[in-house]
Structure formats: C-alpha cells, structure tokens
A and B are shown apart, each in its own frame.
Chain A
Amino acid sequence: MSVIRNCLNDSELVKECLKGKYDSQKLLYEQYAPRMLGVCYRYASSREEAEDFMQEAFITVFRKLHQWKGEGELGAWIRKIAVNTSLNNIKARHRFLESSNTIPIDQIPDNRVMQDQGNDSMLMELVHQLPAGCKTVFNLYAIEGYSHEEIGKLLNIQAGTSRSQYLKARRLLMQKLNPELTIKLNSDRHG
C-alpha cells in the first residue's frame, strides 16, 4: 500500500478509484478519513454521530468522485463534502438550536478539560462540546470561513441570529480558555 501511496498523486489516485480498483479506493479512504472524522466531530454531538456523518460523507465522495476534475486539492473537495453532509444531517435532525443530550460547555467540570491550552485535541474538544446551535455557527464562521449571511442561507436562519450564536460560542470558549477573565468579569458585574 505504501508503494502505491508514494507513486500516485491525487489525479492518478482518483482515476484508479473510478476504475473500481479496491486498493486505490481503500487508500483514498485511509488517507483522508482521519481528518474528515475530525471535521465531522466538530459538528456532531458524539463520536458515534461523527462517524455516521463521515461514513455518509465518504459514500457521497465515491458516488460523486467523477465530478472532481483535478481543480483544487482533493482533500479540500472531500472536506467540503464532509461539512455539507454534517450540515445536512444537522438540519434534518435538529430543527433546534439546543440539544438536550449535550452537556453545555459551561457546566463541564474543569477536570474534564485538558489543562494544556495549546493542545489541538483540547481545543477541538471544547468546540465539540459547545451547544449545537452556536457550535455549528462557530465552525462555519471561525473555521470554515463563511460569512454570517452565507451561514444564514445555509442554516435557514437570520444573519443576526448567526452573529449572536457566534458571540455566544466565543464567550463560552473564552471562559474555558481564560477562567481568570471570567472571574474578573463576574466580580466587575456584581460590583
């Protein structure tokens, strides 16, 4: 498998996959699945749900692989499919902004959050544990780079709602990242 990996670029890999070659299809999956699971994990409310999103995304990838014409990176194209699949599932399942099964981030005890604030996994875990509504908006705005207007169209919400959800997500993340700041803010409020 490593021999194939070294010899094939994205275009060649896609061509081999379109011919129905099992090894190439598995290679493509193994190359991109871990990162795509990470993408889906940011949108899902659990690990299992993230795997569901990713599985559906890869089924879509292989079904539409003939549409990738070599323009841009294959990874970026697959990632876009993973994001869209996650959003479609979220829109279909949750016509809501709060999930009763998700523990709000401000209720998570500190000992469940890694102390090392530079850790990628920790940061993503913080994002994962945001409430569903603001989590989706934060992912789309801060990480994927959509504007609030575009987010409004994607999620069928107002741009103003998108802004308020994003600010809510930021406040929650800041609280976890900077607890001292939270204490200071609270003491200022109470005079």
Chain B
Amino acid sequence: MDELNDRFKKSAENFSLIPSDGIWKNVETEIRRRERKRRFIIIFLTGAAILIGGLFLFINFSDKHPELQKNNPAGSVQNAAQENISVKKDYPEKENAAIPQVSAEIKNPVNSKTVPQIKHQATFISVTEDNNVSEPLNPKPSGQNNSIINNPTTSQIISDEITTSSAASISIKTDSIVANAKDTLETKAVKDSALAAKSDTIIPDTLIALKDTTQTPAQKSKWSIVIGIAPTLSFSEQQEDGDYQIISNYRDSSDNTLLTWNYRFAVSYRFIPRMEVFTGIGVINFSEEILSKQAVYRYDTNTIIVGPSPTIIVSRGYFNINGDSTGTARNKFSWLEIPIGVCYDFFPDHKLNISLQPEASFNKLMSADGYIYNYETLIYEKIKVSDLKSWQVSYGIGISFQYAILKNLHFEFTPFYKNFQNSIYDDPYPLKQHLQQTELRLSLRYIIK
C-alpha cells in the first residue's frame, strides 16, 4: 500500500503546471486594491483622530478662557467694541496686585437712557506673597467708583457693586498682579470649590451687557441650508438565494467597487437649541467592476440521492462577456435621494461643534447601466431598469464636525455610513446585493438670518 502512495506522493512533489497570464494580473489588482483600502482607512482614522484631538484641546482651552469663544457672549471680547466698551484682558506680571477676572474700562460715557441699568459684581481674590488665596473681603457699599485699594504688601479682595448707568467714566484697573497668581488662582480654584464657584460666577459688567443684548445669528435664526459633496466608497454584500450560487467570483462586486461622488442639498430647522430636523434632495452614485469570467453553481435539489452523505447534482458553467474572458465590465447606478433626519449638537454655539446625524432616505432609481447575469441561459445581458428595485429605503448615521467660518457660514466635515435596506436587484433575481456606502461629506451651511 505504501509503495503506491509513495509513488503518487513523489509525482505530486514534482508536478507543476504553467498558469495563465491573467492570473497574476488579477492577483496583483487585488493586492493593490487592498493596499489602497488600507491606506484610505489609515488616513481617515488619522484625520479623525487629529480632528477629535484638536477639538478636545480647543474646547478644553476655550473652557478655561471663555472669552475666546466667539459665539459665547460670556467670553466675547470683540463684541464689546459694539457697545463702545473696551475690555482689557491681560495679566500683567506685577506683584501684590488683585487678580480680576477681567478689567473693564468704559471709554465713552453714555446716557443712562441708552445704556441699560446693569449691575454687576467684580470679585477679586487676594493672593498673598506666599501664594495663599484668602476669602473675599466683605463688599463695600455701592456707589463707589474707585474700588481698588492697593496694599503694597498684599493684594486685597475687593467686592464692589458698580452701576454702569452713571454718565461718569468708570475705570476699574488693577495695579499689579502677582507674577504667578494666575496659575496659583487656577490651582486654588480647583482645590477650593467655593472659590471655584465664585470664579465661575464672575461676570464682568461689560460682558453682562453683552449677554443680555447680544445673540449670535445661530441662536436667533432657526433655518439653514446645506450644500455638500461627498467622495464615497461603496460596499455591497452579495448573497445567493434558492438554487443558485456564485462561487468562483473571488473578485465579487463588494470587493471591486469604485470611488464615486454623492451630492446633497438640504434645508434644516432648529426646533430646540441643540437639535434640528432636516430634509432635502441628493444624488447617490454606485459603480462596480465585475469580472467577465464567472463560475456559477446551481444546486438542483430535486435530485438528491440519500446515502452516507447527501448527494446533490451540480451544474456549472463559465461564460464570457462579449467573448472576452479576461476583461471586466462596469456597472453604474444612480438614485435620487430624499433624506429625512435629525441633527443633535453636542457643542452648540461654539466655533467648533460636533453633531450626531442619523437619517433615513427614500431613494428613487434614476439610471442603471451595465450587465446582469442570466442564471438560466448562463450569459450576461444588458441591465434594464426593470431588473432593479425602483424605490429603496436606506438608513445612515454620521458624525459632523462643524467649524464656523463666519457667523452665518459653517463648514462641515461629516463621515457618514449608509446602508440600503433591501437588495438593489428586484425580487425574482436570485442574486441579492445589499449596498452600503461610506461618505466623507464636505458641506457648507448657511444660516438664514
């Protein structure tokens, strides 16, 4: 027995066949495709990580310096100019000075009729030479307009009540600030919750005015329009129903889809500060390459021979497209998209915002061009629109990174995933092809005043 086996084993080791030329071409194409896909994923993830990291840093930084947030009235510096009020925000490094959250100087005295009666409280926290922060001093009676007492050795806490309706020019200045007081203040503010609470509630007089009277267009306006384009990668999962199965299609449609572009125009309505609903119209494109050489296996379940293992008769055939067994054919599909969705903002009224965008779309087939396989005749035929479903429903979700270029113009970058609910092919067709897409939407949002 072993002699026969050894004979065949030895022959097998020496046996070789020359492969066809097209095989290496196909292998190489698949290698390149996987490299491109890997590179795209790495670039996408790196970009997303940089964006998210930058966003967190920006938000953390701007939280510590709220005056830097353009759309945040509490932090607005530039808006002060609109009210003829300048706000100086600096921390000169001087010793023995009180540390205000902000120093405000009203340059132009205004009539009390035009300036709203605003009361504010400026609280200064004392930092002694040994960097101990003490409790605020008792507030002085209102009416005093020169409220800083300078102590040459220590800074003093001064609480004052100032009414800005006076026509007199009021100047609140700090003479000096301990060199590292800012850092110390922040450290102490973290450690001492009471002090931290106090620092959080400090609202300089000018900024109170701004908060009361100034609103960004984003808060006022509820309507906006969005125009966007999206480079799109498609994936389609194929399944075979019933008695038919494509086996040898190793370069199946899901692995050989082409980059396409999707387009969208949408209108959104903000019904609560953090959420808006949108709808619109768009175009979805899908393009794939299919091998012109396919193998199809058919299981004929009518002739099953029962034995130790069930026996199923299989028929198989190879076929060509237009006589070419080595090339590829390209299928292209387009749908008109009607999306409906909501947008939830995590950081509304910030210069940089992140929002979550789930949506559902109704898609109407507009065009189909390419080849479809006939499982009965085992040949490819030109696709007809009637071979595909006329209407499709798709679901998707995306995370949008929005940057306010101007007050009413935002740029949005939205990685988006979309999934078609049903096969793009109509029901009698045994091949089921479910389409999925990932888009990198680049949009401009105009907030209507």
Contact = CB atoms under 8 A, between A and B. Distances in A.
Interface stretch (B5-13, B196-204, B219-227, B257-265): B5-13
19 contacts: A22-B28, A34-B16, A41-B17, A48-B295, A52-B248, A52-B295, A59-B30, A59-B31, A62-B27, A63-B34, A93-B297, A94-B314, A97-B311, A124-B11, A127-B8, A138-B8, A142-B9, A157-B309, A158-B308
B240 to A, nearest CB: 11
A138 B9 CA distance: 11
Contacts of A55: 23, 26-27, 250
Interface stretch (A2-10, A25-33, A105-113, A180-188): A25-33
A100 B7 CA distance: 29
A127 B8 CA distance: 9
Interface in B238-271: 245, 247-248, 250
A97 B309 contact: yes
Interface in B281-319: 295, 297, 307-316, 318
B324 interface: no
Interface residues of B, number: 41
B309 A170 contact: no
A37 interface: yes
Contacts of A124: 11-12, 15
B213 interface: no
Interface of A: 20, 22, 25-26, 29-30, 33-35, 37-39, 41-42, 47-52, 54-56, 58-59, 62-63, 89, 92-101, 120-121, 123-124, 127, 133, 138, 141-143, 145, 157-158, 161, 170, 173-174
B295 A49 contact: yes
Q: Residue among A49, A59, A97 with the most chain B CB within 10 A?
A: A59
B328 to A, nearest CB: 15
B20 interface: yes
Interface string B26-52: 111011001100000000000000000
B272 interface: no
Interface of B: 1, 4-5, 7-9, 11-12, 14-20, 23-24, 26-28, 30-31, 34-35, 245, 247-248, 250, 295, 297, 307-316, 318
A123 B7 contact: yes
Contact of B310 (A41, A96, A101): A96
Given A96-B312, A133-B309, 12 more contacts: A34-B17, A37-B16, A47-B17, A49-B248, A52-B250, A55-B250, A62-B27, A94-B314, A97-B311, A142-B4, A142-B5, A170-B4
B8 A93 contact: no
A54 B19 contact: yes
A33 B19 contact: yes
Contacts of A49: 248, 295
Contacts of B18: 34, 37
B13 to A, nearest CB: 8
Contacts of A50: 17
B24 A98 contact: no
Given A55-B27, A100-B313, A161 B308 contact: yes
Contacts of A41: 15, 17
Contacts of B11: 120, 123-124
A174 B8 CA distance: 12
Contact of B316 (A29, A92, A96, A101): A101
A62 B245 CA distance: 27
A98 B30 CA distance: 33
A143 B8 contact: yes
Contacts of A48: 295, 318
Contact of B4 (A39, A120, A173): A173
Q: Residue among A20, A35, A42, A158 with the most chain B CB within 10 A?
A: A35
Given A34-B16, A52-B248, A100 B315 contact: yes
A165 to B, nearest CB: 10
A118 B116 CA distance: 109
A186 to B, nearest CB: 20
A35 B27 CA distance: 17
Contacts of B314: 93-94, 96, 99-101
Sorted from nearest, which 6 A-B pairs have the closest CB atoms?
A34-B16, A120-B11, A142-B5, A38-B15, A123-B11, A37-B17
